[in-house]
Amino acid sequence: MMRRSANVEPPTATDATTRAPDHPQEHGFERVVLPHLSAGFTLARYLTGNAQDAEDAVQDAIVRAMRYFHTLRGDDARPWFLTIVRRVCLTSYSVDYQARENSLSVDEPALQLIDSDETPDTALQRSLLRDRVREAVDQLPPPLREAIVLRELQGCAYSEIAMITDVPIGTVMSRLSRARERLAALLQGVVDMGDVA
């Protein structure tokens, strides 16, 4: 049994607040990682194909992120957390790049803000267009799908995508180029894709 020395004072709250944080861990898990839950869910939904598995994958990723929070290096937790989400999806939710069926279950519509100036026809057209784009993205092979989701929906830099997917930046660029070409072909006549090459 260990005894505390009478002359050693425990650290006080002011000691913790006066020190400059050296690591993201000193900011707290909630402030550093939890802001990226939505990005994690979006990625998981596209990788698993349905909202329920995506929710489960993100919860598993949160548990792993908490367990390994001490390994986070640098200031940006988003690529680190998305890497964990991706690995959970690939290992625990049967996301197989070669064999997965290309179907995205849209069992729950996303919450949307309603534009009071929008006509019912415009709202319907936008909804139909959004559904067509989702269907087109879902038809992409998984490596292309994850690259386009990370870049276009999550706004990740090429270097972040390379880190998340554990491939060289050249591979990321190639996957994005091929994904854009395929989306342009799939959405021809539906969306003006401009120059996607």
Q: Would you list the DSSP string of 86-127?
A: HHHHHHHS---TTT--------SPPP-PPPTT--HHHHHHHH
pLDDT at 122: 78
* pLDDT at residue 36 is higher than 90: yes
- Compute the mean pLDDT over every residue in the chain, rounded to the nearest whole number: 77
Top-level class of domain 118-192? mainly alpha
pTM more than 0.75: no
| CATH number for region 22-96 | 1.10.1740.10
**Binning pLDDT at 50, 70 and 90, where does residue 7 land?**
very low
pLDDT tens per residue, range 41-83: 999 998 888 899 999 999 999 999 999 898 888 778 899 999 9
- Residues 6+ positions from 195 with CB-CB distance below 8 Å: none
Mean pLDDT, range 157-165, rounded to an integer:
94
- The per-residue pLDDT for 29 is 83
Domain boundaries, the chain: 22-96, 118-192
